[in-house]
A and B are shown apart, each in its own frame.
Chain A
Amino acid sequence: MPEVAANVPDLDAPDVVTKGGASAVYVAPAWKLTWWRFRKHKLALVSLWVVVLITAIAAMPEFFATQDPNTTSARHAFIPPQTIQFVHEGRPAMPFAYGVVGQRDPRTLRMEWAIDTEVRYPVRLFARGFEYRLLGLIPTDRHLIGFAGASGTDIPNLLGTDRLGRDQWSRLTYGTRISLSIGLVAVALSTVLGILLGGISGYFGGLVDNVIQRLIELLQALPPIPVWLALSAALPRTWPVTWVYFAITVILALLGWTRLAREVRGRFLSLREEDFVLAARLVGASRARVIFSHMVPSFTSHIIAATTLAIPLMILNETFLSFLGLGMRPPAISWGVMLQESQNLQSVVNAPWLMIPGLFVIVTVLALNILGDGLRDAADPYSS
């Protein structure tokens, strides 16, 4: 059978050296091998960068925002996106954004907004804006981009405004923080649960394994969204935002750990049978040594991959819940909360840009999925 090991090219990777002239071959640690294999997967590498960027936004939304996401101005509702332009009157120009003019439709009494090509706001990098603490520590008023000559409600809305005249781009950056962190925390919780129960199940086997497996089957057979909905509906309306946040996270994790637990158990079982584990046992390695220096290393990359693949699911679930009005609630901002604004055809027809947060969801989930797959393939070259 094809015995050409998938790590052949690694032989000429720079880290392979021969020590002290003797024929001692340098053995790369598992994570390094994984990384070498991962590097070859171009799409996954791109996804890694996308994830890094999104994480940066989640970590410092204030820096990326152009306005305070909570400032409402009913007069400035539903302004279409004022995207950054590079061409003015057919000629290339330094990046800038046009202003807008509003006119009230005499029949519907609605404000109709139009791009005003007379007014131009040049883009400035690291411009001054509202004050905040970077990463919650350093007080500053610098933002990634700003617009020269614009202040207050004049500041161009890169992605338009919503029903209450709030700047969508700025809200998105803040929403990224909540949506991404809910995904991360929920996955962290379910990973702990999953590893614990999956490990117990896989290691002890027998009755314990049986009970846990049946429990997992039961939980997996539950239709998730209704159960989540019911649980979140049970949260008191009076709870503060942070409590709701943690409650939602726990609720998501509650049904989310089963997949990971299965994965961990499966790995444990198959590893137990692997020759190298048997070999380690035969040469008399202690139980702890077998687990920690032989099983866990060949294991972590799988867990990381499985975790990466679980995050996008959690993000999607939070979006579902909040979209239906049973997850995060205003004034908290998350992608789902933002999408709630576009819950029916009417609002979408009036202001299609309200769906833009959905694009963020798609890109994030896409990047995380590709990244997770890349990691998994790199961790286990024989699986595919």
Chain B
Amino acid sequence: MHWFILKRLLVVPFMLFIFSIISFVLIQAPPGDFLTSYIAELTQGGSSVDQAQIDALRQTYGLDRPMVEQYFTWIGRMLQGDLGVSLEWNRANSELIGERLLLTLLLTTFSLLFTWAVAIPIGIISATRKYSLVDYVFTVLNYIGLATPNFLLALVLMWIAFDRFGLSVTGLFSPEFAQAPWSWARVADLMSHIWLPMIVLGVAGTAQIARVVRANLLDELGKPYSEMARAKGLPEWKLVLKYPTRVAIAPVVSTLGWYFPQLLSGGVVVSVVMSLPTIGPLLLRALVGQDMYLAGVIILLFSVLTVIGTLVSDILLAVLDPRIRMDGA
């Protein structure tokens, strides 16, 4: 067990290194360095360029040095906890990201839990009642869930809430709490808002994972060990939950590896539509405004979260499946 986790942990720095390179390349991708465009923008806007500030920036990022050196300057500052400043907002990136990161994580985790809480039972019911009416209904719902872009679902739900009930279900907070410091009341307010984005974000994944669970469970139900458990005299539901289901959902846990990035990803779009104060809209704005250092930091952050997600899924898998756990021992 410890061996297994250790092996996984060793991969982490390597993954992070690669991701940081990818993020850096993405920062560099737009034509011209960001200072040039920054200056161009300022001049266009009619404001005078503060030469001293520009020089200072050029210095900190080492823009006149070779690429490789620039990368190491950048990553070095990152490692020291200096996430840089946003040119557009003129504020420290860390400050901009701060609470948004927390809310992003919260939303993503909630969606993930929602997905599992809904998809696994649906998968089990569908598989045990194969070709029944329930299975059929779930299959159809699954297809529709897979085909509906989450932003559209968000729009439709928002529209219905407004049209039918006169509710405006955007954001994660009521106006009076939006800027307020954290308090229990604010948490309660958050909870009363977060459930809709949580569902919207989780629907597509729920459909996907329910399918995976159904298919896996059908496979496992046909295996001799399921029959053997039945031959022991175990009641059907107990047998299904104890044996094949456990085998069938183990791979679901490992889907965390791709589902987590997918949720982070989808969150960007949903947040834009529902005006959620998460990282998504910030990223979009940074990209549109070519505020590449902010964008780079966010993408790197997403990558770090992904790596953590993968790690967690590996550990969970090892807990669930002794074959993996004992692999390294």
Contact = CB atoms under 8 A, between A and B. Distances in A.
> Within the complex, are A and B direct neighbours (CB within 8 Å)?
yes
B26 A366 contact: no
B26 A230 contact: yes
Nearest to A370: B143
A215 B146 CA distance: 27
Contact of A384 (B15, B218, B302, B303): B218
A358 B22 contact: no
B149 A224 contact: no
B281 to A, nearest CB: 10
B282 to A, nearest CB: 11
Given A230-B295, A319-B149, A223 B284 contact: no
B302 A226 contact: yes
A218 interface: yes
B233 to A, nearest CB: 23
Nearest to B265: A225
A345 B162 contact: yes
Interface string A239-269: 0000000000000000000000000000000
Interface in B273-311: 273, 283-284, 287-288, 290, 295, 298-299, 302-303, 306-307, 310
A229 B158 contact: no
B159 A348 contact: yes
A233 B287 contact: yes
Nearest to A228: B265
Interface stretch (A130-138, A196-204, A321-329): A321-329
B143 A369 contact: yes
Contact of A224 (B146, B151, B265, B295): B265
Nearest to B224: A1
Interface residues of chain A: helix, strand, loop or mixed (majority): helix
A220 interface: yes
B328 interface: no
A361 interface: yes
Contacts of A226: 264-265, 268, 283, 298-299, 302
B257 interface: yes
B272 interface: yes
Contacts of B307: 221
Contacts of A323: 149, 151, 269
Contacts of A361: 147, 149, 152
Nearest to A342: B155
B22 A234 contact: no
B162 A349 contact: yes
B76 interface: no
A125 interface: no
A362 B144 contact: yes
Contacts of A370: 143
Interface string A326-345: 10000000000001001111
Contacts of A342: 155
A225 B268 contact: yes
A108 B169 CA distance: 25
A320 B287 contact: no
A224 B204 CA distance: 15
A227 to B, nearest CB: 7
B50 interface: no
A236 interface: yes
A8 interface: no
Contacts of B273: 343-344
Of A222, A312, A339, A363, most B-chain CB atoms within 10 Å: A222
A222 B310 CA distance: 11
Given A229-B284, A348-B155, A349-B159, A362 B148 contact: yes
Nearest to A352: B159
Interface string B210-243: 0000010010000000000000000000000000
A277 interface: no
Given A222-B306, A233-B290, A234-B29, A365 B265 contact: no
Given A224-B261, A224-B262, A225-B269, A230 B287 contact: yes
A355 interface: yes
A48 interface: no
A291 interface: no
A229 to B, nearest CB: 5
A323 B290 CA distance: 18
B213 to A, nearest CB: 14
B163 interface: yes
B149, B284, B288, B290 pick with most chain A CB within 10 angstroms: B149
Interface in A346-363: 348-349, 352, 355, 358, 361-363
Given A226-B268, A324-B272, A325-B288, A366 B143 contact: yes
A316 interface: yes
B26 to A, nearest CB: 4
Nearest to A225: B265
Interface in B127-182: 143-144, 146-149, 151-152, 155-156, 158-159, 162-163, 168, 170
A366 B140 CA distance: 10
A218 B18 contact: yes
A355 B152 contact: yes
Nearest to B162: A349
Nearest to B296: A230
B295 A366 contact: no
A213 B18 CA distance: 15
Contacts of A369: 143, 146-147
Please provide the 7 A-B residue pairs with the shortest distance between their CB atoms, ordered closest to farther.
A234-B29, A225-B265, A365-B147, A233-B287, A223-B261, A358-B152, A366-B147
Given A226-B283, A323-B151, A342-B155, 12 more contacts: A223-B265, A230-B287, A230-B299, A236-B31, A324-B268, A324-B284, A345-B155, A345-B159, A348-B155, A358-B156, A366-B144, A384-B218
18 contacts: A218-B15, A223-B262, A223-B306, A226-B265, A230-B295, A230-B299, A233-B295, A312-B147, A320-B269, A326-B287, A343-B272, A345-B158, A345-B168, A345-B170, A348-B155, A352-B159, A361-B152, A366-B147
